[in-house]
Amino acid sequence: MAKVLDDAAKAAQGKATKRALTGNEAVALAMRQINPDVVAAYPITPATEIVQIFSTYVADGLVNTEFVAVESEHSAMSATLGASAAGARAMTGTSSQGLALMWEMLYICAGLRLPVVMPVVNRALSAPINIHGDHSDTMGARDAGWIQIFSENSQEAYDNLIQAIRIAEHPEILLPTMVTMDGFIISHAMEVVEIQSDEDVRKFLGTYKPERTVLDIDRPITMGGLDFTDYYFEHRRSIAEPMINAKQYILEVAAEFEQKFGRKYGLFEEYKMEDADYAIVVLGSTAGTAKIAVDELRAQGVKAGMLKIRVFRPFPYEEIAEAIAKCKAVAVMDRSDGLAGRGGPVFGEVRNAICDMEKKPITVDYVYGLGGRDIDVEMIKSVYSDLQRIAATGDKALVTYLGVRD
Amino acid sequence: MANIKELSKLEERFSSGHRACSGCTAPLVVRMLMMAAGETPVVVGSATGCLEVVTTIFPYTAWKTPFIHSAFENSAATVSGVETAYRSLKKQGKYEDKDVRFVALGGDGGTYDIGFQSLSGAMERGHNMVYVCYNNEAYMNTGIQRSSATPKFGETTTSPVGSVEPGKKQFPKNLTKIMAAHGIPYVAQGIPSMWNDLITKFQKALNCGGPAFVNVLAPCRLGWAFPSEKAIQIGRDAVDTCVWPLYEVVNGEYKITYKPKEKKPVEHYLKQQTRYRHLFKPGGEKAIEEIQKWVDSEWEKLKRLAGEE
């Protein structure tokens, strides 16, 4: 592992280069290139490697970062937030229970409008304790005021993390941003990643110059004060505003990224959606498997398509509604469950998006892959055949648990 | 030693107009802390609690120095992040060459209980910061609930005196000694009633070059229930009875900084506070005796640690 990273690090000194990296390695490498002023973190499977590799960069003097090995994730987010309030470019990383422990501080970080950036390796929540990938952790943080960007593979995790710095620090946004990848499926799987040079990444990122900080001795500010009923509502509303407006700036950053580095990103990716009758909406690594299913079905003459959500917060309601409007039936794939018989959170959002359309597709939800349960091409194809039957007969189950034993 | 004449010339960085109760000693703790800093810039962080609530009601602030509050249990972690940013930015030449001090504040609830892990972690990591606990011996902000700093037999709303319960059933944990066990350069106990002693301790804490912890007993007229003009006197009684001994631990060496000429009986301290009124009803003598025994034994232990016996 060390050798691979060393090679990748060296290679990245010059121009763009391709290397085989795991998701965690790609993210740690991106963090080295970002070179944050402060990183405060705590180990948790499957995200441990990120901070472990990053601390070797610190130990070898490859970054200017002050690394704080805190005593919990709650303190990780607290210290990161404190560093950001002091004007530092500050990062942390976590997963699952760690994110759950941070939950209180996630809201505060957003409320204080601090542009902290955090990779999150998606993992199931206890109980039962399980270290494998599902989206329960980040879905629990979806209303915390963080921008949430999901990655299909290591390349996207690398690219998204770099873009996240620009997004979070955008003067019209100033909201913390998390970049996710699926635990083990991406974090520990090796694949080829194109790495930009350190210089190019740093040029793309620019420097962080916040307007006011708690280190500004001559212009002291009070941060995190108390609001009664006379101001709280306005202040909370003022956090919604930049979140709602963030979409256009996220696209601007993506356009600049594409222009510099050649890889295209949107709020979501449409795969063979132009004329699709049957579509699935998916997040994260399952999108890669779904593309194969779509290709195989297309070869058989089935008009299958796929929509992969990249930006889950802010949720692109109008854009997704438009993208799936002409489908006959759409299946939403939820890798977490609302435990209330109405599917997972992605389903709720998609249904919300199409609710007011006059002509809308039939929508159903598939809860799948909890605790890292495998999903394969055949399972996804079975979802498409369900959609064909549903479109033909109108006979549907609103929510199906896919790949679970009865 | 602090010079009151010199100190009085300093510009106050903690303003009047805050909403603390009359007779509250927490603002005194802060003013003495800021006096101790002299003209050195100080960034202050606070846990959620009385002090934070009464000083930062938007759109007002009592702080004329940079201030940050994020949550209840993480004052130490938050300030450790600020301090780390300062070190990082300074090292990289991104921050002007100012010598800044960092202080984290918390009540006893935010320090002894819910913020204990965060405090221990920050001290162990060696951040150059001072943690000041303004210890009023209960959760006063939420309406006087017991904490692990509440004294035995103290009545609170969650350790009420009933027909079978005598108030709080445990002695408080000795957080000052626990912090000394962290092996940090400076640990002390103080009280605003002894202003010179406290300011001197703050000065030492701010200039010890590493993590420091100062536990300040802050008599609370609301929770302890005494007339507000008595706050300073009750604090003196706390030290003269040795209920709250004044000492410091410098690089592991214990030193008692104030020895009462004549150690007063605890009864003298207890009877002025309504939280102990049940001890002065028939049958309460045994409890007072138990407190006296505990105070005596703690005082003897402290003297031994300080090499005074």
pLDDT tens-digit readout, B206-227: 999 999 999 999 999 999 999 9
| A284 and A248 assigned to the same domain | no
Beta strands A147-150 and A311-313, pairing class: antiparallel
Please state whether B39 falls in left (phi above 0), alpha (psi between -120 and 50) or beta. Answer: alpha
**Cα(A119)–Cα(A157) distance, rounded to whole angstroms?**
8
| A255 and A369 assigned to the same domain | no
| A21 and A102 assigned to the same domain | yes
Tell me whether residues B118 and A75 touch, CB distance under 8 A: yes
**Cα(A225)–Cα(B66) distance, rounded to whole angstroms?**
12
Nearest CA to A313 out of A240, A228, A402 is that of A240
Q: Are B130 and B104 in contact (CB under 8 A)?
A: yes
H/E stretch holding B261 reads: none
Closest residue to A79, CB basis, from B59, B77, B100? B77
**Partner B contacted by A193 (CB < 8 A):** no
DSSP state of B57: B
Closest residue to B69, CB basis, from A66, A84, A224? A224
**Partner B contacted by A212 (CB < 8 A):** no
Q: Which residue range(s) make up the domain with B31? A: 20-305
**Partner B contacted by A92 (CB < 8 A):** no
Measured from the Cβ of residue B5, the count of other Cβ atoms closer than 10 Å reads: 7
Answer positive or negative: Cα dihedral of B294, B191, B135, B178.
negative
| A275 and A238 assigned to the same domain | no
Report how far Cα A402 is from the mean position of its chain's Cα atoms: 23
Q: What is the DSSP string of A277-334?
A: SEEEEEETTHHHHHHHHHHHHHHTT--EEEEEESEEES--HHHHHHHHTT-SEEEEEE
**Partner B contacted by A224 (CB < 8 A):** yes
Tell me the helix, strand and coil percentages in chain A, rounded to 5: 45, 20, 40
Q: Are B67 and B45 in contact (CB under 8 A)?
A: yes
H/E stretch holding A17 reads: strand A17-22
Distances from the Cα of B87 to the Cαs of A67, A178, B99, in angstroms?
11, 26, 11
Tell me whether residues A75 and B121 touch, CB distance under 8 A: yes
- CB interface of A with B, residues 141-170, below 8 Å: none
pLDDT in tens, chain A (406 residues): 555 566 565 655 668 899 999 999 999 999 999 999 999 999 999 999 999 999 999 999 999 999 999 999 999 999 999 999 999 999 999 999 999 999 999 999 999 999 999 999 999 999 999 999 999 999 999 999 999 999 999 999 999 999 999 999 999 999 999 999 999 999 999 999 999 999 999 999 999 999 999 999 999 999 999 999 999 999 999 999 999 999 999 999 999 999 999 999 999 999 999 999 999 999 999 999 999 999 999 999 999 999 999 999 999 999 999 999 999 999 999 999 999 999 999 999 999 999 999 999 999 999 999 999 999 999 999 999 999 999 999 999 999 999 999 8
Q: How high is the pLDDT of residue A7? A: 55
Q: How high is the pLDDT of residue B96? A: 86
**Chain B residues within an 8 Å CB radius of A91:** none
Tell me whether residues A87 and B81 touch, CB distance under 8 A: no
**Cα(B247)–Cα(A227) distance, rounded to whole angstroms?**
39
**How many CB contacts within 8 angstroms connect chain A with chain B?**
167
- CB interface of A with B, residues 225-244, below 8 Å: 225-228, 231, 235
Residue B108 domain-assigned (yes or no): yes
Q: Which tens digit of pLDDT belongs to each residue from B228-281?
A: 999 999 999 999 999 999 999 999 999 999 999 999 999 999 999 999 999 999
Residue B15 domain-assigned (yes or no): no
**Chain B residues within an 8 Å CB radius of A217:** 41, 43, 65-66, 98, 100
Closest-CA distance, A225 to chain B, in angstroms, reads 5
Q: What is the CATH number of the domain that holds B185?
A: 3.40.50.970
Q: Which residue range(s) make up the domain with A193? A: 2-261
Residue B4 domain-assigned (yes or no): no
Nearest CA to A67 out of A48, A90, A86 is that of A90
Give the chain B residue whose CA is nearest to the CA of A234: B58
Nearest CA to B84 out of B145, B41, B114, B128 is that of B128
**Chain B residues within an 8 Å CB radius of A112:** 70
**Partner B contacted by A171 (CB < 8 A):** no
Tell me whether residues B88 and A64 touch, CB distance under 8 A: yes
**Partner B contacted by A61 (CB < 8 A):** no
Closest residue to A108, CB basis, from B45, B70, B84? B70
- Each as own residue / partner, the long-range contacts of residues A342-346 (CB below 8 Å, 24 or more positions apart, any chain) are A342/A398, A342/A399, A343/A367, A343/A398, A343/A399, A344/A135, A344/A139, A345/A139, A345/A142, A346/A281, A346/A283, A346/A309, A346/A312
Helix (H, G, I), strand (E, B) or coil at B217: strand
Helix (H, G, I), strand (E, B) or coil at B180: helix
Tell me whether residues B94 and A75 touch, CB distance under 8 A: no
Tell me whether residues A228 and B57 touch, CB distance under 8 A: yes
Domain count, chain B: 1
HSE-up of residue A199 (Cα within 13 Å, Cβ side) = 6
Task: Give the domain-ending residue among A241, A261, A281.
Answer: A261
Closest residue to A80, CB basis, from B61, B65, B81? B81
Please state whether B209 falls in left (phi above 0), alpha (psi between -120 and 50) or beta. Answer: left
Q: Which tens digit of pLDDT belongs to each residue from B101-112?
A: 999 999 999 999
| A245 and A301 assigned to the same domain | no
Tell me whether residues B56 and A87 touch, CB distance under 8 A: no
Tokens of B8: 């009085």
Bond into B59 cis (ω within 30)? yes
Tell me whether residues B67 and A221 touch, CB distance under 8 A: yes
Q: How high is the pLDDT of residue B6? A: 87
**Cα(B122)–Cα(A168) distance, rounded to whole angstroms?**
27
**Cα(B216)–Cα(B97) distance, rounded to whole angstroms?**
32
Closest-CA distance, B92 to chain A, in angstroms, reads 7
State whether ipTM is beyond 0.95.
Answer: yes
Give the chain A residue whose CA is nearest to the CA of B52: A225
β-sheet with A268-271: strand ranges across: A268-271, A304-309, A278-283, A329-334, A362-368, A399-402
| A308 and A238 assigned to the same domain | no
H/E stretch holding B249 reads: strand B247-250
| A249 and A310 assigned to the same domain | no
Tell me whether residues B125 and A70 touch, CB distance under 8 A: yes
Helix (H, G, I), strand (E, B) or coil at A223: strand
DSSP state of A212: -
Beta strands B247-250 and B186-190, pairing class: antiparallel
Domain count, chain A: 2
Helix (H, G, I), strand (E, B) or coil at A9: helix
Closest residue to B66, CB basis, from A78, A112, A217? A217
HSE-up of residue A106 (Cα within 13 Å, Cβ side) = 25
Q: What is the CATH number of the domain that holds A279?
A: 3.40.50.920
Closest-CA distance, B15 to chain A, in angstroms, reads 13
Looking only at Cα atoms, what is the longest distance across chain A?
Answer: 71
Give the chain A residue whose CA is nearest to the CA of B53: A226
Does residue B3 have a pLDDT over 90?
Answer: no
Closest-CA distance, B147 to chain A, in angstroms, reads 21
| A218 and A301 assigned to the same domain | no
Q: How high is the pLDDT of residue A6? A: 61
Measured from the Cβ of residue B20, the count of other Cβ atoms closer than 10 Å reads: 17
Q: How high is the pLDDT of residue A355? A: 97
Distances from the Cα of A144 to the Cαs of A147, A148, A340, B20, B188, in angstroms?
9, 10, 21, 32, 39
Q: Which tens digit of pLDDT belongs to each residue from B89-129?
A: 999 999 987 899 999 999 999 999 999 999 999 999 999 99
H/E stretch holding B69 reads: strand B67-69
Task: Give the domain-ending residue among A244, A261, A278.
Answer: A261
Tell me whether residues B85 and A226 touch, CB distance under 8 A: no
Q: Are B28 and B199 in contact (CB under 8 A)?
A: no
| A227 and A347 assigned to the same domain | no
Tokens of B304: 């031994």
Task: Give the domain-ending residue among A236, A261, A286.
Answer: A261
Residue B13 domain-assigned (yes or no): no
Measured from the Cβ of residue A274, the count of other Cβ atoms closer than 10 Å reads: 9
Q: Counting beta carbons within 10 angstroms of the beta carbon of residue A405, is it exposed (0 to 12), middle (13 to 18) or buried (19 or more)?
A: exposed
- Each as own residue / partner, the long-range contacts of residues A206-214 (CB below 8 Å, 24 or more positions apart, any chain) are A206/A166, A208/A87, A208/A88, A208/A89, A208/A115, A208/A169, A210/A87, A213/A85, A213/A86, A213/A87, A213/B66, A214/A85, A214/A86, A214/A87, A214/B43, A214/B66, A214/B67, A214/B68, A214/B82
Helix-then-strand count for chain B, H and E: 11, 8
Residue B8 domain-assigned (yes or no): no
Burial code (b: 16+ CB inside 10 Å, e: under 16) for B67-94 equals: bbbbbbbbbbbbbbbbbbbbbbbbeeeb
Closest residue to B70, CB basis, from A40, A81, A226? A81
- What are the backbone dihedrals phi and psi of residue A204, each rounded to the nearest 5 degrees, phi first? -65, -40
Interface test with B, best of A34, A35, A37, A64 (most B CBs within 10 A): A37
| A129 and A278 assigned to the same domain | no
Give the chain B residue whose CA is nearest to the CA of A70: B121
Please state whether B139 falls in left (phi above 0), alpha (psi between -120 and 50) or beta. Answer: beta
**Partner B contacted by A206 (CB < 8 A):** no
Closest residue to B68, CB basis, from A68, A70, A224? A224
| A298 and A196 assigned to the same domain | no
**Cα(A77)–Cα(A109) distance, rounded to whole angstroms?**
8
Tokens of B274: 């309504």
Q: How high is the pLDDT of residue B46? A: 98
Interface test with A, best of B75, B89, B98 (most A CBs within 10 A): B89
Closest-CA distance, B218 to chain A, in angstroms, reads 22
Alpha-helical (H) ranges within A119-270 are: 136-139, 154-169, 198-205, 232-261
**Chain A residues within an 8 Å CB radius of B103:** none
**Cα(A320)–Cα(A312) distance, rounded to whole angstroms?**
11
Distances from the Cα of A165 to the Cαs of A152, A169, A208, B152, in angstroms?
19, 6, 9, 52
Tell me whether residues A71 and B118 touch, CB distance under 8 A: yes
Tell me the helix, strand and coil percentages in chain B, rounded to 5: 40, 15, 45
| A388 and A353 assigned to the same domain | yes
Q: Are B243 and B272 in contact (CB under 8 A)?
A: no
Closest-CA distance, A38 to chain B, in angstroms, reads 6
Helix (H, G, I), strand (E, B) or coil at A154: helix
